[in-house]
């Protein structure tokens, strides 16, 4: 028994080290990436005219909130040994709610990006015209209203429960609310994005194959980005969703101490991977798209030139309509 206890403590310490190193790295790199994504698709003329620009910005904003809020409490606990949610009632009610709905919102906007790419590559002109900025704003507003309402029971029923005279924990007053939140996470984080992106990737690939004879440049970054994003989401979503279902199905089964700790550590690694994949989009665009990097460096170069000359705004030559099939 003492050997099991020491092994369990060692495994839990590994989890804390993951928060201290990997968790902190994820927060830093994803915050920079999401802010750069918003900057690129808001400020660079050639990029903000892209049909999926608004979806990309919305997904980046949701990802920023999801990762920073979701990981900050755990990182603060590991570094300072203070559980923020157990100390502040406001954070107890709002922290989990913000994390859950912003994550689902971000993943849904990523699904919208995939849908938009399918419509853009459609051979039917009327389908290509379905994605407009007005409709994109409506879809983003729908997602921004729907997911906060789905998780609204969390701030209502989460509260401080005293375990002793001076010690309290943040938990739901109704156990069913915790189960409800977990099932919504499975749908919003894993199954819905994976199924949606997989289906529309296949449809987009079919469209590309139909059009390749007429447009030789179609097999460019559009296909590569979707392949990379799909692979990343599948590598994360499928195992994480299956494992999450296993945890929920067997949550009332008896476990040994070591089994419970091993399952906790596996869940921690999969959760880290979920955070990691959610903040990758900017770095993926930079890695696979020469044109994206060129637009970015050109805009930064103009901005530096403007500051150096101190002569007011630099006149930017109006960009032609971005060829969504040749973003390389």
Domain boundaries, given as residue ranges, for the chain:
2-302
CA distance 211 to 44: 29
DSSP one-letter code for 251: T
CA distance 43 to 248: 44
Which is nearest to 191 in space by CA: 129, 241, 260, 130? 241
Lookup: tokens for 64: 């920023």
Position 221 scores a pLDDT of 54
Beta bridge partners of 162: 168
* Domain covering 2-302 in this structure, CATH number: 1.20.1070.10
Q: Which residues contact 93 (CB under 8 A, 6 or more apart)?
A: 154, 155, 158, 159
Position 32 scores a pLDDT of 93
pLDDT tens, residue order, the chain (328 aa):
567 788 888 888 888 888 888 889 999 999 999 999 898 888 888 778 777 889 989 999 999 999 999 888 888 888 887 778 778 888 888 988 999 999 999 989 988 988 888 888 777 888 878 888 899 999 999 999 999 999 999 999 988 887 776 777 888 888 889 889 888 988 888 888 888 888 887 887 777 777 665 554 544 555 566 667 777 777 777 788 888 888 888 877 888 888 888 888 998 888 888 888 888 888 888 887 777 788 788 887 877 767 666 555 544 444 444 343 344 3
**Model's pTM, two decimal places?**
0.83
CA distance 223 to 204: 8
Beta bridge partners of 168: 162
Look-up of token digits 């997911």 = 147
Contact 225, 185 (CB under 8 A): no
Q: Which residues of 246-280 are buried (b: 16+ CB within 10 A; e: fewer)?
A: eeeeeeeeeeeeeeebeeebebbebbbbbbbbbbb
Q: Which residues contact 55 (CB under 8 A, 6 or more apart)?
A: 109, 110, 112, 113, 116, 136, 139, 140
Position 317 scores a pLDDT of 46
């Amino acid at each position: 028994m003492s050997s099991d206890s020491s092994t369990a403590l060692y495994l839990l310490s590994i989890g804390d080290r993951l928060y201290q190193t990997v968790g902190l790295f994820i927060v830093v790199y994803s915050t920079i990436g999401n802010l750069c994504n918003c900057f690129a698709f808001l400020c660079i003329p050639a990029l903000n005219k892209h049909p999926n620009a608004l979806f990309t910005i919305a997904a980046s904003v949701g990802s920023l909130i999801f990762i920073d809020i979701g990981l900050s409490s755990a990182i603060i606990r590991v570094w300072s040994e203070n559980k923020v949610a157990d100390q502040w009632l406001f954070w107890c009610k709002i922290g989990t709610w913000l994390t859950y709905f912003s994550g689902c919102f971000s993943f849904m906007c990523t699904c919208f990006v995939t849908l938009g790419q399918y419509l853009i590559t459609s051979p039917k002109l009327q389908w290509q015209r379905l994605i407009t900025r007005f409709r994109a704003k409506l879809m983003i507003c729908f997602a921004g209203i729907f997911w906060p309402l789905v998780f609204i029971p969390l701030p209502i029923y989460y509260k401080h429960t005293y375990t002793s005279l001076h010690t309290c924990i943040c938990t739901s007053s109704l156990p069913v609310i915790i189960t409800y939140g977990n099932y919504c996470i499975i749908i919003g984080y894993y199954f819905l994005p994976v199924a949606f992106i997989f289906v529309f990737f296949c449809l987009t690939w079919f469209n590309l194959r139909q059009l390749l004879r007429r447009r030789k440049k179609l097999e460019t970054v559009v296909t590569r980005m979707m392949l990379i994003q799909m692979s990343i989401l599948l590598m994360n979503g499928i195992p994480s969703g299956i494992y999450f279902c296993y945890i929920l199905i067997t949550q009332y089964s008896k476990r040994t101490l070591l089994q419970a700790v091993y399952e906790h550590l596996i869940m921690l690694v999969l959760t880290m991977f979920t955070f990691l994949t959610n903040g990758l989009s900017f770095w993926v665009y930079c890695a696979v798209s020469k044109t994206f990097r060129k637009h970015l460096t050109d805009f930064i170069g103009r901005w530096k030139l403007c500051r150096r000359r101190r002569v007011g705004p630099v006149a930017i030559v109006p960009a032609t309509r971005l060829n969504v099939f040749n973003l390389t």
